Amino acid sequence: MSKNSDNNSNTVEKEAANWKSELISWVQVIVAAALIALFLNSCIIANSQVPTSSMENTIMARDRVIGSRLSYTFSQPERGDVVIFHYPDDPTGKTYYVKRIIGLPGDVVDIRDGGVYLNGADTPLDEPYLKEPMETGFFGSLHYEVPEDSYFMMGDNRNDSWDARFWDNTWVKKDKIIAKVLFRYFPFNKMGAIQ
């Protein structure tokens, strides 16, 4: 065997080893990235799409949002927070909703004359995020007393929102709140923080 054929054989073996090494390196990177993404999505962030117009103009139909799963680890949900939660009328727990917290534990919520009145107040809740004034004529006045460890949710598009006013199970328990919505990330031309 000539020296030249030995060199060619060594070069082919080295190239094959380099190719295998490169492939293993890429597989390791992809697996690590998948594990990190799974951890982030399970423990740190929540990703959700809003399929309807119920939160317009804050979040438009088909917008995608990111929420923090850690927001309520050391604090309580606050009135006005936009949250991702398990829809209380779905026994499987697989349906996620995105709505705004209106009633806190122990609150008395009255809806009348197009406004939301809290705890016997004479003036309605200031809600600059609403798409348009709420029409209440078709269901008249509504009265809710929020139980402890529960929240009353409504959409910002009150005239086109399937929210706590219509659910069989009106309240969302704290342990059913998945995350506080932080920002919209899709479509890209509408990226921004959610207020």
Active site residues: 54, 99
- Three-class SS of residue 185? strand
CA torsion, points 61, 41, 100, 192, in degrees to nearest 10? -60
> What gap in Å lies between CA 95 and CA 52, rounded to an integer?
14
d(CA 100, CA 86): 13
Name, in order, each residue with C-beta under 8 angstroms of 15's C-beta and a sequence gap of 6 or more: none
104 vs 147: CA distance, rounded Å: 9
How many Å from the N-terminal Cα to the C-terminal Cα in the chain? 77
Q: Which residue has the tokens 């065997």?
A: 1
| CB burial readout 120-153, b (16+ within 10 A) else e | eeeebbebeebbeebebeeeeeeebebeeebbbb
